[in-house]
Amino acid sequence: MRQVSIVGIGQVPVQKVYSESLRWLGATAVRQAMAHAGVDQVDALFAGNMLSDELQNQKHLAALIADEAGLFGIEALQVRAATATGAAALRMAYLAVASGEAELAVAVGAEKMSEGAATPALAKALDTKQEVAAGATLISKNAELMQLYMEKHGMPEDGLVNFAINAHQNALTNPHALFHKPISAEDVLQSRFIVPPIRLLDCSPICDGAAAVVLAPSQAARAYTDTPVHILASSVATDRFRMADRSNPLALEAAALSAQKAFQRANITAEDVSLYEVHDAFSIMACLLLEAAGFAAPGYGWRLAADGEIVLQGKVPIATMGGLKARGHPIGATALYQTAEIVQQLTGQAGPNQVPNAQVGLLQSVGGAAATVLTHVFGV
Amino acid sequence: MRQVSIVGIGQVPVQKVYSESLRWLGATAVRQAMAHAGVDQVDALFAGNMLSDELQNQKHLAALIADEAGLFGIEALQVRAATATGAAALRMAYLAVASGEAELAVAVGAEKMSEGAATPALAKALDTKQEVAAGATLISKNAELMQLYMEKHGMPEDGLVNFAINAHQNALTNPHALFHKPISAEDVLQSRFIVPPIRLLDCSPICDGAAAVVLAPSQAARAYTDTPVHILASSVATDRFRMADRSNPLALEAAALSAQKAFQRANITAEDVSLYEVHDAFSIMACLLLEAAGFAAPGYGWRLAADGEIVLQGKVPIATMGGLKARGHPIGATALYQTAEIVQQLTGQAGPNQVPNAQVGLLQSVGGAAATVLTHVFGV
């Protein structure tokens, strides 16, 4: 199997509402990433998008983005894993290059959530027959997890506030982020309940965006860039689909299993990770992922945040460019933004957000109520 | 790159309406294919489905099917290319095994078109802004092609009837096929217009079904079966997305390009092909694909059918188990049915449908109005 590296990145600034089309967003990120890699052609394009079926009435998006980007003739396929979809596109591009079927592949994620009702479409990441029919949404499932966590581990009401505070702080200096305003613990605790105990500022925002990365065989990477970033591992794992079927819903077994597989493949431990782009769609999810990936014992994830260890200079810097909470979470694009941000960090190009001596970046992406989790490890 | 072989197949009989759920259909095909390969675990599952977003309100299908099949923990991702989606799932499973990331991977396609309005959801394979907004559907686009073909090549009104007749004839003895009744030229020509010049019997039916195949490295294939079938090539190509942007819409450039790539990789020519599972969603598409893949010169595809060369004993046997027209076209499952049928043919297990001395099987899968085409070549 060939080693695979990232040789170009592209990020369209996240916005609440773009007037431009979904295809324009996707094609723009593709062209940016290709320009960054210094190439005008690729062999394959793998597109991640979750909501265009409902919001844009469009079901053939990879070929449409390839056409919009002027990439006639190339392979183009769409990949999905609900809210982890961007990472699925990255994995497919990785497989295409690793296998030798593509010399240059672009993974792109694009989402335009502002055109229509995103929330009911997002709920389709759950089991429609058994969960959605009973009134569940992604927010209510995360609220269940937070409630369970507070009860089991005695976490105080303000236990998670630093996740949102850190994300907003880091977004301040990221030009691609949606939010550029700091928030306080009071802001979080005084924001309205969405589904108790989850409040508005525990949630990532609905927004529009697109990001892309160009992949090449590591052996050839320096033909495109002086600073390639290597994909040290790519893994996927699933859990019992319905949270109700899991013996311990707080354990996020798909996250733990995919992290174990990826760490083994990359030959690292959690201690080697310089920064962790976590799936902080909800603060409780970031907390549980810190535990599942091995950065904290069960019941101690929130303390990492409370103790100030998740900031740029902390023990486990997370959401270093704003995270899902403050950079924004345009679903299918999110993991590609995170990948681009890890590339910025590992190449020393994160500006005021730079994590000191960043050598290894970790990315985890959560599909639905963690029925699917993808883990990627990056190094230089 | 590792060579990849098929070591197990599973097919749920196509039906107009299943009372069972989509997830049941998918999981049943998966378990059948795994039982056929003699395995009770796989590393990865790649699911093809086009319409569950609208028809089942379900957007996280790969993990759901894995759960339903009892495959806890494994990798599971969904892949799409509009109406070519089943072939996209096959390609992804191929890349996973070829790269070394999976030792055993299952590609499954499942579609339940009977739950709701399939036709408007199918139209989303076109450009919603520029084509669907102007009234186009997949049927109207194929009608355009047929009209253009008749005008350009002087094909008579009954020029395509043998495509449907052959498909229905071959489906008679396929237990997995939807239709088991022969039809005549009169039946075709007297069936009602859907969009002129396309008549009802020029179209594949809306139906429910699921099929799956298990892939393993060729080196290990005989541990699972005495009769592995090798994937000699897998390729994807795209065309200008909108038919109106193509200099010659009848040329199906994505089909021609992906066939050229696949033939080169497999080191074969069209003359080496023993049977061709063609994308006969509409008879005109089968005709154009015969030309694009190199079996007939432009304007002569219909003559292969008219001259009786597409039957089991003909020069280019197509739709050997009934094709999309008569086995049925449950979209995301179709290419997996076709792959399973090619496996039956190449292993001498096609019963009364057996093509004599079948050595090489060709599969082409068309997304939308041929904006995406996947080509797979199989051998023994």
Quick: pLDDT tens for B248-305: 999 999 999 999 999 999 999 999 999 999 999 999 999 999 999 999 999 999 999 9
CA-nearest of B101, B98, B65 to A261 is B101
Burial of A269 per CB tally in 10 Å (0-12, 13-18, 19+): exposed
Cross-strand pairs, B217:
B4
| φ/ψ bin of A152: left (φ > 0), alpha (ψ from -120 to 50), beta (otherwise) | alpha
Please tell me whether the overall predicted TM-score, pTM, comes out greater than 0.95 for this model: yes
Please tell me whether residues A51 and A200 are part of one structural domain. Answer: no
* Interface contact flag, B92 A76, Cβ < 8 Å: no
Q: Is A72 helix (H, G, I), strand (E, B) or coil?
A: coil
| CB contact (8 A) between residue B63 and residue A367 | yes
Query: Is B62 close to A81, i.e. CB distance below 8 A?
Result: yes
Among residues B168, B188, B223, the one where a domain terminates is B223
Distance from CA of A16 to the nearest CA of B (A): 22
pLDDT at A181: 97
Residues of B within 8 A of A92 (CB-CB) are 77, 79, 92, 95
Q: Structurally, how many domains does chain B consist of? A: 2
What does the alpha-carbon distance between residue A76 and residue A104 come to, in Å, rounded to a whole number? 12
For residue B36, the enclosing domain spans 4-118+207-223
Residues of A in contact with B44 (CB under 8 A): 236
Q: What are A198-241's pLDDT values in tens digits?
A: 999 999 999 999 999 999 999 999 999 999 999 999 999 999 99
Q: Is B30 left (phi over 0), alpha (psi -120 to 50) or beta?
A: alpha
Contact between A107 and A213 (Cβ < 8 Å): yes
Interface probe for A, chosen from B68, B80, B215, B376 (most Cβ of A below 10 Å), is B80
Chain A residue numbers with beta carbons less than 8 Å from the beta carbon of B91 are: 77
* A:B CB pairs within 8 Å: 204
Average pLDDT estimate for B348-352: 98
pLDDT at B23: 98
**Cross-chain Cβ contact B236/A75 below 8 Å:** yes
CB contact under 8 A, A21 and B80: no
- List per-residue pLDDT tens for chain A, 380 residues long: 899 999 999 999 999 999 999 999 999 999 999 999 999 999 999 999 999 999 999 999 999 999 999 999 999 999 999 999 999 999 999 999 999 999 999 999 999 999 999 999 999 999 999 999 999 999 999 999 999 999 999 999 999 999 999 999 999 999 999 999 999 999 999 999 999 999 999 999 999 999 999 999 999 999 999 999 999 999 999 999 999 999 999 999 999 999 999 999 999 999 999 999 999 999 999 999 999 999 999 999 999 999 999 999 999 999 999 999 999 999 999 999 999 999 999 999 999 999 999 999 999 999 999 999 999 999 99
pLDDT in tens, B18-36: 999 999 999 999 999 999 9
Structure tokens at A182: 């700091």
Cα A2–A4–A6 angle (5° rounding)? 165
Q: What is the pLDDT of residues B218-261, one digit of tens each?
A: 999 999 999 999 999 999 999 999 999 999 999 999 999 999 99
Eight-class DSSP state of A299 = T
Q: Which residues of A touch B128 (CB under 8 A)?
A: 56-58
Span B170-176, mean pLDDT? 98
Partner-chain contact A63 B92, CB within 8 Å: no
Q: Are residues A180 and A104 in the same domain?
A: no
Query: Residue A140's pLDDT is what?
Result: 97
Q: What is the pLDDT of residue B56?
A: 98
Would the CB atoms of A60 and B78 count as touching at under 8 Å? no
Statement to judge: residues A197 and A214 lie in one domain: no
Note whether B141 and B369 are within 8 A (CB).
yes
Cα B326 from Cα B332, distance rounded (Å): 16
For residues B297 and B187, state if they share a domain.
yes
Q: Do B95 and A100 touch (CB under 8 A)?
A: no
From the list B197, B190, B188, B144, the residue with the least C-alpha distance to B162 is B188
pLDDT tens digit string along B302-337?
Answer: 999 999 999 999 999 999 999 999 999 999 999 999
B87 contacts B366 by C-beta, under 8 angstroms: no
What confidence score (pLDDT) does residue B318 get? 98
Alpha-carbon distance of B287 to B279, in angstroms, equals 10
Q: pLDDT tens across A66-92, in order?
A: 999 999 999 999 999 999 999 999 999
pLDDT at residue B38, rounded to an integer: 98
In terms of domains, do B53 and B196 share one?
Answer: no
The interface predicted TM-score of the complex, written ipTM, equals: 0.98
Residues B133 and B28 in one domain: no
Sign of the CA dihedral with A259 first, then A263, A264, and A265 last: positive
CB-based contact B316:B273 (threshold 8 Å): yes
Nearest-CA distance from B205 to chain A in Å? Answer: 20
Residues A140, A99: one domain?
Answer: no
What DSSP string describes A109-167?
EEEETTSS-HHHHHHTTS-TTTTGGGT--HHHHHHHHHHHHHHHH---TTTTHHHHHHH
What local confidence, expressed as pLDDT, does residue A336 receive?
98
Q: Give the mutation candidate from B42, B64, B141 for the A interface (greatest A CB count, under 10 A).
A: B64
| Average of per-residue pLDDT across B110-131 | 97
Do A52 and A146 reside in the same domain of the chain?
A: no
Nearest CA in chain B to A2: B99
**Minimum Cα–Cα distance from A374: chain B residue:** B75
Helix (H) or strand (E) holding B284: helix B283-292
Q: Show the CA angle centred on residue A197, arms to residues A191 and A200, nearest 5°.
A: 30
A60·B124 Cβ contact <8 A: yes
Both B32 and B67 in one domain: the answer is: yes
Check whether residue B114 and residue B143 sit in a common domain.
no
Confidence of residue B159 (pLDDT cuts 50, 70, 90): very high
In the numeric block, which tokens belong to residue A149?
A: 């966590």
Residues A111 and A125 in one domain: no
Q: What average pLDDT score do residues B113-124 get? A: 96
Residue B184 shares a structural domain with residue B329: yes
Q: How many residues does chain B have?
A: 380
The DSSP code sequence of A230-268 is EEEEEEEEE--SSGGG-S-GGG-HHHHHHHHHHHHHHT-
Residues of A within 8 A of B95 (CB-CB) are 92, 95-96, 99, 101
Residue A93 has a pLDDT of 98
Q: Could you give the CA distance from residue B127 to residue B368 in angstroms, rounded to a whole number?
A: 9
Are residues B95 and A91, on separate chains, in Cβ contact within 8 Å? no
| CATH code of residue B332 | 3.40.47.10
Write the pLDDT tens digit of every residue in A167-178.
999 999 999 999
Give the residue from A191, A223, A255 where a domain finishes: A223
**Domain boundary pick from B223, B258, B274:** B223
